[in-house]
Amino acid sequence: MNCVDCHRTRREPRRDHSEVTSLFPLPPGEGQGQPNEALAKAGEGIPTGLRTHRAIPGSPLFPRKWRALMCAAGLAFPVLPIPATDPGFDPTDPTMEVDLLFQRRVFTRADGLPSDNVRALHVSRDGTLWIGTDRGLSRLANGGFQTFNHASDPIFRHDTVTAIEEGTDGTLWVGTLDGLLEFNAKATRRHTTAEGLVDNQIEVLKARRNGELWFGTYRGLHRLANGKVTAFPNVFTNSSTARPAVFSMIEDRAGRFWVTGPGTPAQLLDASSDRFSPVSIQGNFTNALQSAFVAGHGILEDAAGRIWISGTPSFYLDSTGWHRPPPDDPLGRGCGSFLGLDADGTFWLREWDTGLVAYRAGRTRIFSTLEGVPDMPIQTLVIDRLGALWFGTPSGLCRWLPRRFPRVIGGDLLPKEAVWTMTEDSEGVAWIGTDRGVFRRDPSGRIDTPIRSLSDHRIRSLHLDQQGTLWIGTMDSLEFWRDAKLNVHHWEAPETHNKVRVVTSDAAGRLWVGRERGLMCRAGDVWRQFRVADGLPHDDVRALRFDRAGNLWIGTFGGGLAVADIGLHNPRASLAPPPRLEILAVRSRTNGLPSDYVWAIHEDARGSCWLGTDRGLARVHPAPRFEVSAITQAHGLFEEAINEILADDSGALWLSTERGFGRIDLDQAHAVADGRAPQLDCLAFTEADGLLTGESNGQKSQPAGIKTRDGRLWFATPRGICHFNPTNISARIRAPAPLLDQIRVDHETVYQFRPGIPQPGEHRFEFEPGRARLLEIAYANPEFREGPPPRFRHRLIGFDDRWVQAGERQFAIFTNLKPGAYQFEVQSAANHSAWSDHSVRCHIVIRPWFYQTLWFRTCLVGSLLAATFGTIRWREHSQHRVAELRRQMALTEERHRIARDVHDEVGSGLLRLAILGEKAQDRRDPNASVADLDRVRGEAHRLVDQLGDLIWAINPENDSLDQVLARLREYAALYVQDACLEGDLVFPDLRTTHLKLSGFARRNLALAFKEALCNAVKHAEASRVDVRCDLDHDHAWLTISVIDNGRGFDPARRSTPSKGGGHGLAGMRHRLDSVGGHATIESQIGQGTHVTLALPLPT
Amino acid sequence: MNEPSQAQAAGTSSVHGHPGSPRLRVAAIEDDPEQLGFLVHLISHYPSLDCVGSFLSSETALPELASLRPDVVLVDIGLPGMSGTELVRHLKPLLPNTQFMMLTVIDDTPRIVAALEAGATGYLLKKDIQRRLADAIHELHEGGSPMSSGIARRVVQSIQHSTATKKAAAGPVSDADLTDRERQILDRLSAGMLYKEIAAELGVALGTVNTHIRHIYEKLHVHSRHQAMIRAKECGSA
C-alpha cells in the first residue's frame, strides 16, 4: 500500500506503512457480493460483518472447499444459540489473521515467572491470577509475579504445582507433586498419604459448592470433607493400570458431580449413595462407536446447560438426552480435549501435539506455533475478567486478549487498509470511501461496488445532497453519482492542486467543496472560487460545517478557522453562489485557537462548535461572540491530535485521534472550557485495550466518521472501519479493584497477602497510641493490561476524606497519625478508564492516649471548672481580707492620730495642772495660792471636758455629720446663753443626708469651733454672736462661721495665745489645715470679727 | 472661766424648794471616798436637802435603800462590782417614786442612756456638782429632766426600734409609744436646740417641755423593760 498522503501533522512518529503487507490484487468481479449465509444462519442475531478478503497463510486445513462444506454442514447443523454479548467476534474466522483477532503476549522467566513450565492456572474471586509452575505458585500482581514455593513457605515439599482451586470459603487449594496444600486464614496444611490419600501426586482439583474438595491423585480419586479424606479407589473399573486416575471433574448447575477418567466416558456421583456410576451414552449410536470411545477427557457445561464431554468423538447431553455432533463437525470427530469455554460461546480445546483449538458453530481453528503458541501441549487454560485467554505451556504463559472491541470491520470486499470517509443515507445504506474506490453496504451487511470507472479511486470525501446525489471527492476530481450514473467534474487547468478535502451542501442546495487550493461553491451551473484574496485565512480547506444559523464554518490547514455568512437569508441564494464571502470571524493561534490546523468541526446540541486540531479540542461559541476555549492534555484529554468528532445518542463526544478513541462528557467539556472545572474525565480506548490500531483518518478527508441509524459509531481508520456500540463499551474496560498487599506499622508487618488469606475487610487493626508513627500500605493491581501501568488513587478516611492521586505508586505512607478510627481504600484506573470499585476498606484504629479519652477530658474539664470557681472565690476572699486589712489600718492610723492628740492636749494640760499645783504649794505669796488653786480647779475641769470631747470624737458611732453639728450647736447655744449674749444659730437640717465625718476631723473641727466661740464670747466684748453653718451644693465642703460684733482686731498682728491655752488663731488654722480644710479670719478694728472654718467632707 | 454645763437647767432659781416644804431625802452612792465625802458635805450644806444615806458600793446600798425610801438617789455611773445602771434597774421597781440621778465624769451618752433605760431620770456631770447639785436635785424631784442632743438621738433610736418591732409583731400601739409632741421635742433636741428655744418655737411653756421629756424617759424605761421581757420570753421558749 502506498502512503498516499504524508502531509499529516502529528506528535508521534507514525508507523511505517511499509510494514503492512500489500493487498492481494483482486481480479474484478471475484469475491464480491457473496454474503456469508452460513454464518448468518449459524449465529442468531449476529450481523455477518464484513469479511476481509485474505487467504490465511499456512492453514492447509481449510481450503475453500472445506469452507463450503462446512457452510453446508452448518445449514444442517442444529442451531446453537450463541450468546450475543459482542456479536461478531469469531476466532474461528479463517479470514482474520490471528493478529487481527488477538492481542498476544507471552510471559516467561524473563518476565519474572519462576519457571516457563506453566501447569495450572486459576482466577480467584478477588481477581488474582494464580499460576502453577514447576517452581512454585505465582500470582500476577502489578504487572509482575510474586512466587510462593519452598523458599518462602516450607510447606511446599515439592515446588511443582499441578492444580489450583479455590474453595467456597476462600481457601486456596494447591495440588503439588508431593501433597495437597491447603492455604487459608486459619492454617496452612499439607495433606498427604498420612491422612489417607492414596497418592501424594495431585493431578486435578475441584471444589464443590457444598464445601467438599475433590481431588484426583495419580492413583485415585479422593474427597476431603469436614477435614476427613475419603478415597474412591477404582472408580474407573478399567483403570487399574491406567494412570493418571482422573482427567477432569465438574459440578453442573443442577448440582450433579461428573468425573472423567480413563476407560469410561464419565462417571456420575450419586449423591444419596455416595457412589459413582458410569455414564451410559444412549441414543442411536452404534456400539462400535461407543466402544471406540476411549475416554472422555475434558468435560464442561455450556451456557445452555448442556454437558459436553470431549473425546473421539465428543458427546453432549441436553434435556433430550445424549447427542453427538455430526461426523463432519470437528467435534463430532473429536478435535481435542476441552480446556474451557469463553463468554462468546467459543469452545477451547487442545490438540495434544498441534496446539490450541477454537471451536465455534461447527468450525474450528487451530492456533499453533505459527500463531504464536510457544509450545505444546497446552496444559491449562483460564479466561480472566477482561475476557483474555490465559493458557500455560511448557515454555511459557500466554495471554491472548480478543480484540472484541472496537471492532475493525473487515470483509471480503473491503480492503483492510485505509478507509477515508463514509456517509449514510436515510435508509441505512452506507457509502465507504477507500483508496480503492467507493463501496456500498446495505443494512443487511451486503457490500458491493456499484460505482465503476471512477476517474480517481482515492476517495477523500463522500456527500449525499438533498436530491440524493452522491458526491465523490477524490484526490484529483469531483464526481457525482446519480440515477446509477457517474459524472465527473474535472477542475480546469491550470489547476494543479485539486485534492478534495471535503464536500458538503448548504440549505439552499448549493454545493461547497473544500480543496487544497481554495473553497469552491457551485449553484446552478456556476462555480465560484474563494481564495485567501477573498478573505479565507488559508487556501487549504479541510473542514466545512453549517451551523444552525446557516453560517459556514471553514477549517483550514494553516490558517485556523473562519466563519462566513454565505447569504442564506437571501431568498435568491440558491440561484447563484454568493458574490463574496462575508467573513464574520477568523480564529487562529493568535486569538485563542490551540492550533492553526483545523480539520474537524462538530456542532453540539447547545450550538457550540467543537474543532479538532492537532493540538487539542477547541470550543467556539456561535455568532456573534465566537469565543474560543481550548481543551488539551492538561485538562485530561488523552491525546491532542483529534481527527474526527462524533456525538453518540447520549450526547457524549467521541473523538478519534492518532492513538485511539476517546469519550468525553459534554457537560464536563463545557465546564472545562468555561473554566469552571480544571479537569474532565476522558475514557480512552487504545491499542492496549485490543484496538488493532489507534490511528484514524480525518485530517484530510471529511467526514471521517458517522453515527449510523442504529446508534453505532463508525470511524475511518488506516486499517479499515472501527465501529462499536458506544453505550456498552465503557463498562467493559473498568479495572478491577486493587488488592491490599501488605500493611506495615512501624516496620512491623501486620498484614501480608498470602494464598488463602482474605483481604482485611472487617478486621480492625488496633494500635496503641504512639505506636503508629509510620503506616505503610502496599496494594497491587491483580490484572494485566498492555499499555501504560495503571494509576491509583487512595484515601484514608478519617485523616483526609479527599482522594490522593498516587499515580503509579503502589503504596501509601502515613506518618504520625493521631488517635482515631481510619479507613483506607484504594482504587485503580487503567489507561483512561473509569476508576475501579474501591478495594476492600481496611479499618485502622489508633487508640487514644489516656489523656485523650472522654472520661479523662470530662474530669479535666470538671476540675478546671472547679479550679476556676475556687480561684474566683479565693480572690474574693483575699480581696475581702485586703479590704479588712485596709480598714483596720485606717482605724489604727486614726487611733494613732487621736493618741497623739491626747498626748498633746490632755497630757500637756495635766502637766500644767501639776505646775499650777506646785505654784499653789509655794507659800511665799498667800494670795497667789488661792488664785492658783482656783486655776488648778478650772484647769482640771477643763481637762475633764477635753477628755469628754475626746471620747466623743473617738466613738465611731458619732460619725454622722448631723450628729456632729447638733452637738456643736448645742454647745454654742449653751455658751452664748450662759454668757447672756444674743445670737442666731443657723444650722442646716442634715438628718436625711448620710454624710459622715471622721473622728479626727470632728475633733479638730470641734476644737477650732470652740476656740472661735471662746474668742467671740469672752474676748471680743461683743453683744451678739451669730453662728452659721453651711454645706455647699455638692455636699463637698462644710463651712461654719462665727460672727461677732465686738471690738475686732488687726489680723496682721500676730495673735497671742489667749488665756486658757486655746492657742488662738494659729491653732485654729493648724487644726483645719490638718484635716484638709482652712480657717479664715476677717476682722477690723471696731467692726467685729468673722471667723470661717471650712473643711472638705469625705465623698 | 466656767464651761457651760451641759445639763440644762429647768429654769428654777437658786433658791431651792418652797419655804416650808419638807426637806428632800437624798442618798448617794459613790465608790471614791473623797468624792462621796464631798457629796455628803454638799448635801448637808443645803437646808432643803437631807442626806439619808451614803454608800461606797451598790452591794452595800441595795439592802438599805429599799427601806430608806429616799426621794432622790445620786448614783455614780461607774461603780465597781454591780454598776450604777444595774443598781437603778434593781431599785426602780422597788422605789417607783424615787428619782435616780446618775453622776458621770464625762457625758458618756451610751452609758447614760443605758441608765435612763434602766429607770434613771436625770444625770449630772461631776464637774457641775459643786455649782448645781441642789438645783439639779430639786429640778429632778419637781419633774424636770435634763437631756442632751446625743441622748435625744439615742432615745429616738431606741424607741423607734422598739416601735418597729412591735409593729412587726402586729401588736397594738400602746401608750408607751411617743406622741407627736414628744417626737417634735426629741427632733429639736437632736438638732441641738435648747429647751428655751424649743419652748419658744413650739409655743409652749418651758415646764411643758420638761414634762414631756420626763414622759419620754418613762416611756424609754417602759420600752427597755418590754424589750427585756421579750428577750427573756424568747430565751425561755428557745
Q: Is A1019 near chain B, with CB under 8 Å?
A: no
Q: What is the rounded CA–CA span in Å between residue B139 and residue B16? A: 9
Angstroms from B91 CA to nearest CA on chain A = 28
Task: List chain B residues with CB under 8 Å of A965.
Answer: 192
pLDDT digits (tens, 9 = 90+) for A337-363: 888 888 778 889 888 788 888 988 888
Angstroms from A886 CA to nearest CA on chain B = 28
Pick from A625, A843, A658, A709: nearest CA to A15: A658
Task: List chain A residues with CB under 8 Å of B2.
Answer: 978
Angstroms from B58 CA to nearest CA on chain A = 25
Contact A969 B191 (CB under 8 A): yes
Angstroms from A1016 CA to nearest CA on chain B = 14
pLDDT digits (tens, 9 = 90+) for A312-327: 778 888 888 888 888 7
Q: Is A933 near chain B, with CB under 8 Å?
A: no
Task: List chain A residues with CB under 8 Å of B110.
Answer: 955, 957
Contact B127 A1060 (CB under 8 A): no
Please tell me which of the candidates B127, B190, B193 has its beta carbon nearest to residue A941: B127
Angstroms from B213 CA to nearest CA on chain A = 17
Q: Is A971 near chain B, with CB under 8 Å?
A: yes
Nearest-5° angle of CA A679, CA A680, CA A684? 130
Contact A975 B4 (CB under 8 A): yes
**Interface ipTM above 0.85:** no
Task: List chain A residues with CB under 8 Å of B108.
Answer: 948, 951
What's the mean pLDDT in A260-288?
A: 69
pLDDT digits (tens, 9 = 90+) for A846-900: 887 777 677 888 888 999 999 999 999 999 999 999 999 999 998 888 778 778 7
Task: List chain B residues with CB under 8 Å of A944.
Answer: 105-106, 126-127
Contact A947 B106 (CB under 8 A): yes
Please tell me which of the candidates A951, A952, A973 has its beta carbon nearest to residue B194: A973
Name the pLDDT band for A86 (thresholds 50, 70, 90): very low
Q: What is the rounded CA–CA span in Å between residue A444 and residue A627? A: 44
Task: List chain B residues with CB under 8 Å of A974.
Answer: 4-6, 8, 194
Angstroms from A917 CA to nearest CA on chain B = 18
Contact B1 A965 (CB under 8 A): no
Phi (first) and psi of residue B186, to 5 degrees: -60, -40
Contact A938 B1 (CB under 8 A): yes
Residue A78 confidence (pLDDT):
30
Q: What is the rounded CA–CA span in Å between residue A979 and residue A1043? A: 15
Please tell me which of the candidates A945, A965, A974 has its beta carbon nearest to residue B194: A974
Contact A969 B193 (CB under 8 A): yes
Edge to edge, the sheet with strand A129-133 lists: A118-123, A129-133, A136-141, A144-148
Q: Which three cell numbers stand for residue A1?
A: 500500500
Q: What is the rounded CA–CA span in Å between residue A478 and residue A513? A: 9
Mean residue pLDDT of chain A comes to 80
Task: List chain B residues with CB under 8 Å of A971.
Answer: 4, 6, 192
pLDDT of A72 over the 60 cut? no
pLDDT of B70 over the 80 cut? yes
* Total beta-carbon pairs less than 8 A apart between chain A and chain B: 76
Task: List chain B residues with CB under 8 Å of A975.
Answer: 4
Residue A487 confidence (pLDDT):
80
Cβ atoms of A52 and A90 closer than 8 Å: no
Edge to edge, the sheet with strand A419-424 lists: A419-424, A430-434, A437-441, A447-448
Name the pLDDT band for A1018 (thresholds 50, 70, 90): confident
Q: Which residue has the cell 479422593?
A: A222
Q: Which residue has the cell 438426552?
A: A321
- The percentage of residues in chain A with a pLDDT greater than 90, rounded to a whole number, is 21
Name the pLDDT band for A1097 (thresholds 50, 70, 90): confident
Cβ atoms of A1016 and A1089 closer than 8 Å: yes
Give Cα A150 distance to the centre of its chain.
41
User: Domain-by-domain residue ranges, chain B?
Assistant: 24-142, 149-237
Q: Is A847 near chain B, with CB under 8 Å?
A: no
| B24-142 is a CATH 3.40.50.2300 domain | yes
Residue A325 confidence (pLDDT):
82
Q: Which three cell numbers stand for residue A827?
A: 482504587
Contact B3 A969 (CB under 8 A): no
What's the mean pLDDT in A815-840?
A: 79
What's the mean pLDDT in A949-967?
A: 81
Top CATH class, B149-237:
mainly alpha
Contact B149 A952 (CB under 8 A): no
> Which three-class secondary structure string do you get for A569-609?
CCCCHHHCCCCCCEEEEEECHHHCCCCCEEEEEEECCCCCE
**Lowest mean pLDDT: which of A334-343, A382-391, B207-216?**
A334-343
Selected for mutation to probe chain B from A942, A946, A957, A967 (highest B CB count within 10 Å) is A967
pLDDT digits (tens, 9 = 90+) for A665-713: 999 999 999 999 888 888 888 887 777 788 888 899 989 999 988 888 8
Please tell me which of the candidates B107, B127, B192 has its beta carbon nearest to residue A973: B192
Contact B148 A970 (CB under 8 A): yes
Please tell me which of the candidates B105, B106, B149 has its beta carbon nearest to residue A967: B149
Produce one character per residue of A278-288: b if its CB has 16 or more CB atoms within 10 Å, e if not: ebebeeeeeee
pLDDT of A656 over the 90 cut? yes
Contact B150 A944 (CB under 8 A): no
pLDDT of B2 over the 80 cut? no
Task: List chain A residues with CB under 8 Å of B193.
Answer: 969-970, 973
Q: Which three cell numbers stand for residue A162?
A: 499441578
DSSP per residue, B168-197: HTT----TTSPPHHHHHHHHHHHTT--HHH
Cβ atoms of A417 and A716 closer than 8 Å: no
Q: Is A986 near chain B, with CB under 8 Å?
A: no
Name the pLDDT band for A283 (thresholds 50, 70, 90): low
Angstroms from A1033 CA to nearest CA on chain B = 21
Task: List chain B residues with CB under 8 Å of A978.
Answer: 2, 4
Please tell me which of the candidates A968, A971, A1018 has its beta carbon nearest to residue B1: A1018
Name the pLDDT band for B145 (thresholds 50, 70, 90): confident
Cβ atoms of A311 and A334 closer than 8 Å: yes
Name the pLDDT band for A514 (thresholds 50, 70, 90): very high
How far does chain B reach from its first CA to its final CA, in angstroms? Answer: 57
Contact B149 A969 (CB under 8 A): yes
Q: Is A859 near chain B, with CB under 8 Å?
A: no
Residue A761 confidence (pLDDT):
77
Residue in chain A closest to B197 (alpha carbons) equals A973
Task: List chain A residues with CB under 8 Å of B126.
Answer: 944
Contact B106 A978 (CB under 8 A): no
Q: Which residues pair with A520 in a beta bridge?
A: A513, A529
- The percentage of residues in chain A with a pLDDT greater than 70, rounded to a whole number, is 83
Other C-beta atoms within 10 Å of A930: how many? Answer: 11
Cβ atoms of A786 and A831 closer than 8 Å: no
Residue A304 confidence (pLDDT):
86
- Provide the 8-state DSSP code for A76: H
Task: List chain B residues with CB under 8 Å of A977.
Answer: 4, 194, 196
Angstroms from B193 CA to nearest CA on chain A = 6
Residue in chain B closest to A941 (alpha carbons) equals B127
Residue in chain B closest to A990 (alpha carbons) equals B191
E strand intervals along A839-996: 842-846, 985-986
pLDDT of A840 over the 80 cut? no
Pick from A684, A651, A686: nearest CA to A666: A651
Contact A944 B105 (CB under 8 A): yes
